[in-house]
Chains A and B, each alone.
Chain A
Amino acid sequence: MSGDIFLLLVQDGLTTGAIYLLLAVGLLLVFSVTRVIFIPQGDFVAYGTLSFAALLANRVPGTLWLLDGLALLSALISLRHARLVGWRGFALRLGPPAALTAASLLLLRFWPAPLPLGIVAVGIVAALGPLVYRFAFAPISRSPLLALLIVAMAVHYVLIGLGLIFFGPEAASTPAFTDASVGFAGEQISGQSLCVYAAAAVLVAALRWAFGRTLYGRALRAAASNALGAKLVGIDEGTTGRLAFLLAAALGGFAGILIGAVTPIGYDTGFILGLKGFVAAIIGGLASYPLAAAGALVVGIAESFADFWASAYRDVIVFTLIIPVLVWLSLRRPGVEDG
């Protein structure tokens, strides 16, 4: 293998790795706060790409109607405890979907540029996150982890089924941020790759700040650290769950817009992408953000090399990575459950 190809593969690997990193962060966040193994994360990626592509094609994406429908349903159900929810609650439930609907329709008519449409697309996907939590996971938040995992799997099937209805079977791409490329140490690095690195770095830095400094961010970490302790200082399980899902879905949607420019995304491509983010999160022991980030880059590079050498077995190779990690994780936790 020549040095050029090697560097090209590394660059490719780092680009997809940076995207897996965003997914891994979302998965880790959701798992640590709600114990949900968030299989549908990948479907949010696909929703991100496909919603963006639909908007660019001057179509209202079906995900927007899904959002409106679920939000309305949630508001209707909450009418039963109207006193508890209050005006603020209703505004919170209906405000964002209404704003996103209005923004989509107005933008499509008056300003159909990629940047605002991209923001709306990520917004739609992000707003779906808390609703998925509310309908699928909140009612069984105290169930065993495996029940949550099976529900997560079921949600994935609902989302890809709806994805097929909304977007049809064809894959779609999104425009690159830039066609430029930069010379670096005698090699050409594509501007899109640099954009992906930068976006991932900015997001990670923003999340670090939010988790370290803001009280809501610290409340999320607290809920992940000790669920009982969080409850006892008044951190409401529903709020942290919705917040975690909001962030994870937003990360997924944004990853969708990034990856749409690298590779075409269909309604059912997301699952495999999500699983790769998952492999990264597992390499991080489902607990450590830095390790998961490193894991994501490893997965990206491993995939890029596997694709070069044995492309038919690419995914097999990537998924097999998790088995030794799973064994190590199981062995590391000795079987004593009594204190």
Chain B
Amino acid sequence: MRDGVLLAVEGLRAGYGAVEVLHGVDLAVAEREIVAIVGPNGAGKSTLMAAVMGLIPRRGGSVRFAGERASGRTEALVGAGLVLVPETRALFADMPVQDNLDLGAFARWRAGGRGFGRDLDRVFSLFPRLAERRRQLAGTLSGGERQMLALGRALMGRPRLLLLDEPSLGLAPRIVRDIFHVLAELRREGLAILLVEQNARAALQLSDHACVLEMGEVVLAGPSAALAGNARVRETYLGSQQRSENAVG
């Protein structure tokens, strides 16, 4: 176990209907750390995110966040600083960008917090494009702008740990690069991130720790650099030796 653990998942089991998808997953994210989860489609990565956030019932195991046993109520977890950006982004498509961002602070507002102008300025400085489009409906944004808005909305909740499900999904490489730079900057400022990413190469470059999820089980875990050097990971997720040499060249 690493120092300053923020999120500790132990033996987590979850699934849909009669099918169990996660068969006892262990995972930890420390403060100021990016942890990546890689694995094939259907391995249970999104299910893991949903189970941690209480979006689907947990069938066993435990989730602790900031030292406390995390309840299965999503709203309570959001209030505690655990914020998910799902694969679908789940934006309020028929509402303006500004409303989407304001609502990102809903949990804090209900808890009595005020003064969200500073957070808004921060989001606009990270993503100037959003400031230009603050009156536009979220549904009319381009793919990259949508991901920025989803991230911005999540940041308005002032998360301690950000869960990101496939942030690069459907985005052009240039935009993926921009977004990954923002993630690196957020980490420098002290945010912890748990990242599910199909682009294993980028994920392993960005993250401190990583784990490989296959068939609902963590089959490998460790520092990302070590995983990137692991023969099996290279073979399965980074392309073969020859391919990766080509990529570098």
* Residues of B contacting A236 in the complex (Cβ-Cβ under 8 angstroms): 75
Q: Which of B78, B99, B102 contacts A232 (CB 8 A)?
A: B78
* Cα separation A230 to B100 with both chains bound (whole Å): 10
Cβ of B171 under 8 Å from chain A:
no
In contact, A234 and B110 (Cβ under 8 angstroms): yes
**Contact of A218 with B107 at beta-carbon distance under 8 Å, contacts A232-B84, A233-B157 already known:** no
- Assess whether B95 is in contact with A218, with CB atoms less than 8 Å apart: yes
Query: Please, which residue of chain B has its CB at the minimum distance from the CB of A221?
Result: B95
Residues in B60-115 with C-beta less than 8 Å from chain A = 74-75, 78-79, 83-86, 88-95, 99, 102-107, 109-110
Please, which residues of chain A bring their CB within 8 A of the CB of B99?
Answer: 218, 221-222
- Least distance between B30 CB and chain A CB atoms (Å): 23
**CA separation between A189 and B106, bound complex, in Å?**
47
B91 touches A226 (CB 8 A): yes
Whether, in the assembled complex, B219 has its beta carbon less than 8 Å from a beta carbon of chain A, the answer is no
Q: Is the CB of B74 within 8 A of A231?
A: yes
**Are A235 and B75 also in contact (CB < 8 A) when A228-B86, A228-B90 are?**
yes
Please tell me if the beta carbons of A228 and B92 are within 8 angstroms of each other in the complex: no
Number of A-B pairs whose CB atoms are under 8 Å? 69
Q: Which residues of B contact A215 (CB under 8 A)?
A: 102-103, 106, 109
A225 and B94 contact, CB distance less than 8 A: yes
Identify the interface centre among B75, B84, B110, B153: most chain A CB within 10 Å of its CB.
B75
Contact of B55 with A228 in the complex, beta carbons under 8 Å: yes
| Interface residue B53 (Cβ < 8 Å from any Cβ of A) | yes
Q: Which of A233-291 contact B (CB under 8 A)?
A: 233-236
CB neighbours of B107 from chain A (8 A): 233-234
Count residues on chain B whose CB falls below 8 Å from chain A CBs.
30
Q: A232's closest neighbor in chain B, by CB?
A: B84
The docked-state distance in angstroms from the alpha carbon of A234 to that of B105 is 9
List chain A residues, Cβ under 8 A from B88: 228
Cβ–Cβ < 8 Å partners of B83 in chain A: 232
| A-chain residues with CB within 8 Å of residue B157 when the two chains form the complex | 233-234
A155 CB–B CB distance under 8 Å: no
Tell whether, in the assembled complex, residue B106 and residue A233 are in contact, meaning their CB atoms are under 8 Å apart. yes
Q: What is the minimal beta-carbon distance from A334 to any residue of chain B, in angstroms?
A: 19
Whether A53 is near chain B, meaning CB under 8 Å from some CB there, is no
CA of A218 to CA of B53 in the docked complex: distance in angstroms? 23
**Residue picked from B55, B84, B106, B107, most chain A C-beta under 10 Å:** B106
- Contact B75 A226, beta carbon cutoff 8 Å: no
Is there an interface contact between A225 and B75, defined as CB atoms closer than 8 Å? no
B92 pairs with A225, CB closer than 8 A: yes
| CB of A70 closer than 8 Å to a CB of B | no
How far apart sit A231 and B153, CA to CA, in the bound complex (Å)?
Answer: 13
**Max count, chain B CB within 10 A of own CB: residue among A218, A219, A234:** A234
Interface of A is mostly: helix
Q: How large is the interface on A (under 10, 10 to 19, 20 to 34, 35 or more residues)?
A: 10 to 19
Closest to B107 in A: A234
Report the bound CA distance from A277 to B30 in whole Å.
55
**B103 and A235 contact, CB distance less than 8 A:** yes
- A153 to B90, alpha carbons, bound, how many Å? 31
Give B105-128 interface residues, CB cut-off 8 Å to A. Answer: 105-107, 109-110
Interface flag for A168 (CB, 8 Å): no
- Asked if A229 is at the interface (CB within 8 A of a chain B CB), the reply is yes
A residues near B84, Cβ cutoff 8 Å:
232
- C-alpha spacing A218/B83, complex, angstroms: 20
Residue from the list A218, A225, A233 in contact with B153, Cβ < 8 A: A233
Of listed A215, A219, A226, A230, residue having the most chain B CB within 10 A: A226
Taking the closest CB of chain B, its distance from the CB of A224, in whole angstroms, is: 9
Taking the closest CB of chain A, its distance from the CB of B2, in whole angstroms, is 27
Nearest-Cβ distance from residue B136 to partner chain A, whole angstroms: 15
Give the residues in chain A near B86, CB-CB below 8 Å.
228, 232
Residue of A nearest to B163 (CB): A232
Query: Is B106 in contact with A229, judged by CB distance below 8 angstroms?
Result: no
Closest chain A residue to B92 by CB distance? Answer: A225
Report the minimal beta-carbon distance from B157 to chain A, rounded to whole angstroms: 6
Quote the shortest CB–CB distance from A52 to chain B (angstroms): 35
Give chain A residues whose Cβ lies under 8 Å from the Cβ of B103. 215, 218-219, 222, 230, 233, 235
Q: Report how far A235 CA is from B94 CA in the complex, Å.
A: 17
A-B contact pairs, 12 of them (CB 8 A): A218-B95, A218-B99, A218-B102, A222-B99, A222-B103, A226-B90, A232-B53, A232-B74, A232-B78, A232-B84, A233-B106, A235-B106
Q: Which residues of A contact B (CB under 8 A)?
A: 215, 218-219, 221-222, 225-226, 228-236
Closest 4 A/B residue pairs (Cβ): A234-B107, A229-B90, A234-B78, A225-B92
Which residues from chain B sit less than 8 Å from chain A, CB to CB? 53, 55, 74-75, 78-79, 83-86, 88-95, 99, 102-107, 109-110, 153-154, 157
Beyond A233-B104, A234-B107, 10 additional contacts (C-beta under 8 Å) are A215-B109, A218-B95, A218-B103, A225-B94, A225-B95, A226-B90, A228-B90, A229-B89, A230-B92, A233-B78
